[in-house]
Chain A
Amino acid sequence: MSKVWLIAQHQFRQEVSKRSFLLVLFSLPLFLTFTIGFGYLASRLEQESSTTLGYVDQAGLLVRTLTEPEDDVLLVPFETKETAQTALETGQIEAYYVLAADYADTRQAELVYFEQPHYYATRHFQNVVRLNLMADQSPAVVDRALSGAKVTVRATESKRNFPAGGPSAGQFVPLIAAAIFTFLVLTTSGYLMQVIVAEKENRTMEIVVSSVSPTQMMSGKIIGAVGIAVTQLAVWLAFLAGAAWLGGSLLGIGWLQNINLNWRDILTIVMVALPSYLFIAALMTTVGSTLVESQEAQQAGALFFFPLFLPVYLVLPIMQNLNGPLSLGLSLVPLTSVTTMAIRSIFMEIPAWQIALSAAVSFVSGIVMVWLAGRAFRRSMLRYGQRLKWRDLFGTRRMGHGFSR
C-alpha cells in the first residue's frame, strides 16, 4: 500500500506544480464570473431603462397611482386620444391606453402601440386600475389583492416543496454539483488519457515496474488523479460559495439570498460522484493505454462528452417518469449516474437503497477498471510506437514456442 501511496503522492505533486494546472483551476471561476457577472450587468442595464406609458382616462377613474412601483414605469396622462397619438408618434411614449367613458359598465380599454410594450409595463397599468377600483378597501387588503397569493406546492410522496410550483434555487444545487463534476471530468480527461502514453514516450515504464507491480503503478496514478480532481473541486466549491454570498449579500440578487441547502441531496451526489470518478478515471486510463501519442490521447478525451451529457439530452423523459426504467437505469450506470441522480433529486427524495446501489455499482466497476488499467499497462510494455489493440487487452497473450498465458 505504501508504494501505491508514494506513486499517488508523486503524481499529485507533479501535476499540481504545473502552471497549466493553475490555469485550469482558475478557468471555471473566471469564466463563470465574467459570463454571469456581465449577464447580470446587462440585465440590470436593461431594467434600468424606464418605460413610459401614456393614458387617456375618459372614465375619470384613475385618481391614485402606485406610490412604490416595483417596475420602472412612468405613466403620463393625456387629455385626448389625439394628443396621446402625437406623443406616441414623436417617441415621447411607447404606448398608451384609452379607458372608455363607460368603463365602469363594460371594462373596455384600448391599447395603442407601434411595438408591444414589456409585460411589466402593462401589468403596472393594470395594477393602477385595480388600485383605483379598490379605493374603499384597507391598505392591507389592497396590498394583498395586488400581490396575490404565494403558493408553495408540497409533494408528500416525493418529500419536496416547490415555491410557486417550481423548484427553488437551493434545489438546483445538486444539479450545479453534477455540472461541476462533468466539467471536472472533461478538464482532467486529457491528462488521464495520457498517463500511460506519457510513460511510453518517456521510456520509463519498464524501469518503474522493476520496483512496483503494474497494478500498484496504475492504482497509484489513478488515486493521484482522483486527488487532483478533489483539489480542483474543493477550490471551485469554495469559489461558488463565495460568489453566492457576494451575489446575495452585496449585489442583492433575490434568488441567491434564499438558498436553502438540502444536505441529504448534496451528500447523495458526493456518495455517487466519488466512486463514479474512480471508474471514469480508470476507464480513461485504460482507453489511453491503447493509444500511441499524447495528442491522440487528448483528442480521445473529448469523446467522453457524449455519455456524460446523455442524461441532459434525455431530461424530459427522465422528469416525466422519475422512477421509470430509464431513470433508474441511468442512475446506476457510472458514467451517467451523477447527472441523473442530480436531476431526479430536484423533484423527489431519492430512496437510500438506490443511492447505495448506485455507489456500490460504481465502486465495484471502478475496482474492476483499475485492475484492467493495470493489465493494460502490463501489456503496453515494450510496445513503443505500437497501438495496444483491444483483443490484446482482453485476450490471452501468446508467448514464444506456442505457450500462452
Chain B
Amino acid sequence: MRHPYPTEGIEIVMNKTLLVMLHEIRTTLRRKSFTILALGMPLVLAIVALIVMAVNQDASSAPPASTGSGTIGAARQKAEGYVDEGDLITVLPTNVPPGWLAEYPDEAAAQTALEAEEIAAYYLIPADYVASGEVTYVTPQHNPISNDVSTDGIEWILLVNLLGDAELAADVWDPLDVKVTALESASSEAVEESWIVELFPTLMVLVLYMVILLPASVLVNAITDEKKNRVMEVLMSSLSPQQMISGKIMALGLLGLLQTALWVGVLWAVVRFGGRPLDIPAGFSVPTGLLVWAFIYGLLGYAMYGAQMAGLGALAPDVKDAKGASFVILSPLIIVYMFTVGILVAPDGPLALVLSLFPLTAPVGMIARMTQTTVPLWQAVLAAALQLLTAMLIVRLVGRLFRAQALLSGQPFSARRFLGALLGRA
C-alpha cells in the first residue's frame, strides 16, 4: 500500500509528535472542566476534609458520658440493680463496692426504680442463665460509640456464684500472669502493626488505577472533541496517525501524572495537617524498587489503555456512545481488581502469576504481587516487556482507525465496526 505521507526524517517526526503533545497539554489545561476536576476537586475535598476532621476532633475530645470502669472491684460511679430470676447469686464477693448493686424481686420493681432514678440501670439475669448465658443490661440511653457500658462487675459476681469459690473464680478470671519474651528474628524486620501496613497494598493498587484511568478517560473526550470540530481531517493532511496518537497519549499521560501527584499531595497534606499525624510505625518505608516498578507499569498500563480509548474516541460519533464500549475495554482492569484479594492472599500462586504476566492485567497485578512478596527479576522484566510490545501493537492497530472514512463516517459505534477497523476491514 502506498504510504500516504511523505518520508520524513526522525527529527521532523519527533518535532511533530512534540508539537501535538504541547498543543494537547495547552488545550487541556485551558479546558474549564479539566481545571475543575483535576485541580478544583482535590482542593475542595481537602478543605471539606480539614473542616470535617476539625469537627470530628471536637466531638471525639468531648468528655465521655460516663466513667464506667472495666476493672473488677473498682468504685462504681452509679448505683445499679439486678433481677436474678434463677436465684443464682447467693453471695456478693467482698471486693464489690458497697451500695453499688441492689437486688430487685422482679423486672417491674427494677423498672420502677429506674424510672424514679433510684438506679442508673439494672441487669436482668434469666432463670436459664447457665444454659443460655444471656444477660440483659437495661439503661435509659446507650451510645455504642462512647462505650459507656461495662459488664465486668456482674460477670465477675456470676462467675463467683457459679464456681462457689472466690479464689478459684479469680484464677479462672485471669489464669495467667504472662511474661512475654519476644525474640528477634534474623530474617524479618519487625514492623509494628499499623493501618498503613495493612492498607499499603490496596493504596498502591488504587494509585495505579488513578494513573491509568484518569488520563485515559480524558483521551476519549479529547479525540471526540476534535472529531466534532472537524479539525481531525485537517490535521491528518500534515500528521501521520501514529504521530497524532503518540502526541496525545504522551500529553495526557503527563497531565495524568500531574493529576495523580495532586491527589496524593492533597491526601498527604490532609493527613499531615488535619490534626492527626500519619502515625507511621518505625521500620516502615516504601521500597524504592517498588516505586520504580510502579512508575514503569503505570506508564505502560496507561499507554495500552490510553491507545485503546483513543481508538474508541476515533470511531464513536459522540462520547456518550463510547460509554458502554469503554466498559468492555477496561474489563481486564475490573477483573484484576476483583481478584486483588486473591493476589494479596496468595502472591506466589498460579492466579497471581497469570494476572501479573498477562499484559492487560499486569500493571495492577504485578504491583499487587510486589507489595506482598519478592517477585523474581525475570518475571518483572518479562511483564514489562510484554506490556511494551502490547502497547506498541495497540498503538499501531489504533492508528488504522484514524483514516478518513472511519473518522467521517458518523455511523453509530458498534463492537463489530471497532474490531473490523482495527483489522483494516472497515
Interface residues of A (CB under 8 A from B): 19-20, 23, 34-35, 38-39, 41-42, 45-46, 88, 97, 106-116, 126, 129-130, 133-134, 137, 140-141, 144-145, 147-158, 160, 162, 165-167, 194, 294-296, 298-299, 302, 306, 313-314, 316-317, 319-320, 322, 347
Contact = CB atoms under 8 A, between A and B. Distances in A.
17 contacts: A19-B324, A39-B341, A97-B176, A107-B174, A109-B176, A114-B182, A126-B176, A129-B176, A133-B172, A149-B129, A155-B140, A156-B138, A157-B140, A299-B37, A306-B44, A322-B143, A347-B143
B252 to A, nearest CB: 15
B380 interface: no
Contacts of A194: 320
Given A107-B174, A316-B60, A156 B181 contact: no
Of all A-B residue pairs in the complex, the 10 with the closest CB atoms, nearest first, are A34-B338, A155-B142, A317-B59, A313-B52, A38-B341, A129-B175, A42-B341, A114-B185, A316-B56, A112-B181
Contacts of A167: 144
B291 interface: no
A158 B131 contact: no
Given A107-B171, A306-B44, A112 B142 contact: no
Interface string B294-335: 000000000000000000000000111001100100000000
Contact of A319 (B44, B48, B143, B149): B143
B151 interface: yes
Contacts of A106: 177
Nearest to B57: A316
Given A154-B137, A314-B56, A133 B168 contact: yes
B178 A23 contact: no
Given A145-B163, A165-B147, A130 B175 contact: yes
Interface string B56-74: 1011101000000000000
B206 to A, nearest CB: 14
Contacts of B175: 107, 126, 129-130, 133
B177 A109 contact: yes
A108 B319 CA distance: 72
Contacts of A107: 171, 174-177
A141 B177 contact: no
Nearest to B65: A320
A144 B135 contact: no
Contacts of A153: 136-137, 139, 142, 149
B136 A320 contact: no
B158 interface: yes
B99 interface: no
A314 B129 CA distance: 40
Contact of B319 (A110, A129, A154, A295): A295
Interface string B173-204: 01111111111110010100000000000000
A347 B144 contact: yes
Given A107-B175, A111-B181, A133-B172, A157 B141 contact: yes
Contact of A317 (B44, B58, B143, B180): B58
A320 B59 contact: yes
Q: By CB atoms of chain A within 10 A, which of B182, B185, B320, B338 has the most?
A: B320
Contact of B135 (A150, A157, A160, A322): A150
Given A155-B140, A316-B145, A115 B190 contact: yes
A322 B45 CA distance: 26
A194 B318 CA distance: 14
Nearest to B60: A316
Contacts of A298: 320
B247 to A, nearest CB: 22
B373 to A, nearest CB: 16
Given A110-B181, A111-B181, A167-B144, A150 B133 contact: yes
A350 to B, nearest CB: 15
Contacts of B174: 107
A45 B182 contact: no
B142 A158 contact: yes
Contacts of B172: 130, 133-134, 145
B234 interface: no
B144 A38 contact: no
Given A111-B180, A151-B151, A302-B37, 9 more contacts: A42-B342, A110-B179, A130-B175, A144-B131, A149-B155, A155-B141, A165-B149, A294-B319, A316-B145
B92 to A, nearest CB: 17
A216 B45 CA distance: 38
A296 B33 contact: yes
A20 B151 CA distance: 54
A101 B178 CA distance: 14
B342 A165 contact: no
A213 to B, nearest CB: 28
A50 B176 CA distance: 23
A38 B56 CA distance: 33
A155 B139 contact: yes
A112 B338 contact: no
A398 B52 CA distance: 44
Contacts of A296: 33
B411 interface: no
B356 interface: no
A35 B338 CA distance: 6
B91 interface: no
Given A38-B341, A42-B341, A316-B145, A148 B179 contact: no
A319 B145 contact: yes
Contacts of A158: 141-142
Contacts of A129: 175-176
B44 to A, nearest CB: 7
Contact of A134 (B44, B60, B163): B163
B141 A314 contact: no
Nearest to A161: B136
Contacts of B149: 151, 153, 165
B423 interface: no
Contact of A148 (B147, B155, B176): B155
Contacts of A151: 135-137, 149, 151, 155
A134 B182 CA distance: 30
Contacts of A23: 324, 327
A20 B324 contact: yes
A347 B320 CA distance: 43
Contacts of A41: 341-342
A298 B323 CA distance: 11
